[in-house]
Every structure is written in structure tokens, then in C-alpha cells.
């Protein structure tokens, strides 16, 4: 019951935040110099053609009116039509969202597979060679920009060795895994660099906790102690980090999508900013804001289930 109240209140908070974001972005994007009508028609367009297109796009009305129209649209779950593609924004997004989500989940899975064993190993061998190597290695990885890592991976594994395709998304599930392997790995490496540091430190804190000693004193097998007592507690803060990461990835990892030419939400967003496609930018930003808030809510809920000491306020 308390949980339901909490969820309700959090969802209510969603509204002003989303509103704030849309206002901000609405005016920001229109402040960018450049006229979408001109971009679409080309530089040689006649002033009349431009003016006509403006009327069609609804850009001839005053800003405030445009904003009210936008709000009304949202209320009826419409996001308008793309100025460039002339398709409903929702349609454009619908075809891209699954791809970005796939990439997001894929990258998250990979990052966990990398992080947990590495953090564990480093924690157990604290200050010895494996620990120093792992920490140093991930420190280097932290310093690697995603675009560069992506470019290098592409070079080595796609162009030279030819193990993975250069771009695209593929048709079947397996093909998705194959096409997205490199971008997912690029994202995962970055996420892991953060998570390994904090998980390692959490595990170290727990390794010598009294309850771990007590568990050993009870005669429990080391494996059981590891999973049930050490990891179960040490992973808690990582849950929060995971939530933040997923929230970020869900909005489309703009750079990675561009480098690997993944036709997802991120590249849509990037292209739309460059082509001044206001409606698409608004729509995707709104989606992103809502998703981030929902994922944060979900993370908090999951955390409160995993850690019984936490009470939701």
C-alpha cells in the first residue's frame, strides 16, 4: 500500500519535470539558427515556397501558440509530424525505439558480464597484481572516448578482420546480436569502467564485514558465503548505477549509434538537430525524459525490494 502511494507521487512529479524539459527544449531548438523549411527545400527555394512550407509546418504562428499546440498534441498522445520526413513522429520513433532498446539491453548485459567477475577478482586480490592490472586497465578504458573506441573496433574487427558487419541492424534476432556486437561492446566497456571501480570498492567493504565472518564461523561453504552474503550486499549500490546507465542508454547512445550507423533513436535525434526537425527533437526528448524518470522510479522500487532496510518516503 505504501508502495502504491509512493509510485503515484513519483509519477505525479513526472509531469512538471517533463513540462520543464519540453519548454526548455522547445525554445532552445528554435533558437538554433537555420530554417527547417529552407533545409528541406534547398538553398535555391523561392521565398514563396518557403513561406508556404512554413504555413504547412505550422511555423508561421507565434511561438507561444506553437507551444500550446504542442501541449495539446501531447495531451492527445500525438507528437506531430516530422518536418523532414512528413511522417508522424510517433511512427518514426516506433521503428527506432526497439533497436535502441535492444542495444541498451545488450550493452547492459555485456557490462554486467564484464564487471562482476573483474570487480570480484580485483577485490579479492586487493593491492596485488591482478587488482592493479584491473584497476589500471579500466582506468585507461575510462579515458577512451566512445567514438574513438568505436572507430578502432570497427577498423580492426570489421574492416581488417571482417568478423563483424560494419553497420546496420540485421533482420533476425541472431543478426541483431551480430550487428550490434561491436557497438554494444563499446558501450559496455565504458559502463564497466565505472561499475568496476564502485563494485570493487563495495565488495572490499563487505569482504571483512562481521556478518561475513559470522557466516564463515557457521561453517558455510565459501561459495555460499560469496553469493549470499558478499555479493548480495555488495551489489546493492551497483543497482542504482545500473539504473542510471540504462536510463542513459535508453535515450539512444548518440555517438555510438552514429559511429556504427545503427538506425536507432540516437542517430534520429542527431540528424534531427542538424536538420532542424523541431517536432522530432521535441518528441524524442519527451520520450527520453519520461523514460529516465520511469527508470529511476523502477530502480528505486527494485532497490527497496532488495534492501529491506530502505523505506520509501
Choice between 92 and 176, CB closer to another protein: 92
Residues forming contacts to another protein in the complex (CB under 8 A) are: 13, 16-18, 20-21, 24-25, 28-29, 31-34, 132, 139-140, 142-149, 151-152, 154-155, 159-160, 197, 208-211, 213-222, 224, 228-229, 232-233, 236, 251, 254-255, 258, 269-270, 273-274, 281, 285, 288-289, 292-293, 306-309
Choice between 49 and 271, CB closer to another protein: 271
* Coil, strand or helix at 310: coil
Instruction: Transcribe the chain into DSSP letters.
Output: -HHHHHHHHHHHHHHHHHHHHHHHHHHHHHHSSS-HHHHHH-TT--HHHHHHHHHHHTTTS-HHHHHHHHHHHHHTT---B-TTT-SBHHHHHHHHHHHHHHHHHHHHHHHHHHHHHHHHHHHHTTTSHHHHHHHHHHHHHHTS-HHHHHHHHIIIIIIIS--S-SS---SSHHHHHHHTHHHHHHHHHHHHHHHHHHHHHHHHHHHT-HHHHHHHHTT--HHHIIIIIIIHHHTHHHHHHHHHHHHHHHT--HHHHHHTT--SHHHHHHHHHHTT-HHHHHHHHHHHHHHHHHHHHHHHHHHHHH-TT----
Choice between 98 and 136, CB closer to another protein: 136
For residue 163, the minimal CB distance to another protein (Å) is 15
Cβ-contact 180, 198 below 8 angstroms: no
Choice between 116 and 259, CB closer to another protein: 259
Rounded CA-CA distance 136/142 in Å is 10
For residue 29, the minimal CB distance to another protein (Å) is 6
Choice between 176 and 267, CB closer to another protein: 267
For residue 31, the minimal CB distance to another protein (Å) is 5
Rounded CA-CA distance 190/195 in Å is 9
Choice between 51 and 137, CB closer to another protein: 137
For residue 94, the minimal CB distance to another protein (Å) is 19
For residue 55, the minimal CB distance to another protein (Å) is 25
* Residues whose CB falls within 8 Å of the CB of residue 282, separated by 6 or more in sequence, listed in order: 22, 25, 26, 29, 70, 79, 80, 89
For residue 171, the minimal CB distance to another protein (Å) is 26
For residue 9, the minimal CB distance to another protein (Å) is 13
Report, in angstroms and rounded to the nearest whole number, the Rg of the chain calculated over CA atoms. Answer: 24
For residue 174, the minimal CB distance to another protein (Å) is 27
Choice between 52 and 168, CB closer to another protein: 168
Choice between 52 and 167, CB closer to another protein: 167
For residue 255, the minimal CB distance to another protein (Å) is 6
Choice between 44 and 218, CB closer to another protein: 218
Amino acid at each position: 500500500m505504501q508502495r502504491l502511494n509512493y509510485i503515484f507521487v513519483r509519477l505525479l512529479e513526472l509531469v512538471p519535470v517533463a513540462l520543464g524539459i519540453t519548454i526548455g527544449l522547445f525554445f532552445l531548438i528554435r533558437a538554433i539558427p537555420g530554417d527547417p523549411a529552407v533545409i528541406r527545400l534547398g538553398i535555391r527555394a523561392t521565398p514563396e515556397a518557403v513561406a508556404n512550407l512554413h504555413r504547412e509546418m505550422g511555423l508561421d504562428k507565434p511561438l507561444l501558440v506553437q507551444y500550446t499546440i504542442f501541449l495539446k498534441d501531447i495531451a492527445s498522445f500525438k507528437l506531430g509530424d516530422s518536418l523532414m520526413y512528413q511522417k508522424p513522429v510517433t511512427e518514426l520513433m516506433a521503428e527506432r525505439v526497439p533497436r535502441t532498446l535492444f542495444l541498451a539491453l545488450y550493452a547492459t548485459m555485456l557490462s554486467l558480464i564484464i564487471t562482476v567477475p573483474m570487480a570480484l577478482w580485483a577485490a579479492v586480490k586487493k593491492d596485488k597484481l591482478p587488482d592493479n592490472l584491473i584497476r589500471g586497465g579500466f582506468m585507461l578504458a575510462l579515458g577512451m572516448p566512445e567514438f574513438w573506441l568505436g572507430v578502432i573496433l570497427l577498423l580492426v574487427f570489421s574492416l581488417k578482420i571482417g568478423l563483424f558487419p560494419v553497420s546496420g541492424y540485421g533482420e533476425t534476432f541472431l543478426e541483431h546480436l551480430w550487428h550490434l556486437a561491436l557497438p554494444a561492446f563499446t558501450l559496455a566497456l565504458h559502463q564497466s569502467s565505472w561499475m568496476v571501480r564502485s563494485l570493487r570498492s563495495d565488495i572490499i567493504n563487505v569482504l571483512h564485514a562481521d556478518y561475513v565472518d559470522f557466516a564463515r564461523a557457521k561453517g558455510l561453504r565459501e561459495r555460499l558465503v560469496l553469493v549470499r552474503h558478499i555479493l548480495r550486499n555488495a551489489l546493492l549500490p551497483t543497482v542504482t548505477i545500473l539504473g542510471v546507465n540504462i536510463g542513459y542508454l535508453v535515450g539512444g547512445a548518440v555517438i555510438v549509434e552514429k559511429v556504427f550507423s545503427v538506425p536507432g533513436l540516437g542517430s534520429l535525434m542527431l540528424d534531427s538537430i542538424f536538420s532542424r526537425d523541431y517536432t522530432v527533437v521535441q518528441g524524442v526528448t519527451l520520450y527520453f525524459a519520461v523514460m529516465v524518470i520511469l527508470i529511476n522510479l523502477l530502480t528505486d522500487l527494485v532497490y527497496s525490494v532488495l534492501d529491506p532496510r530502505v523505506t520509501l518516503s
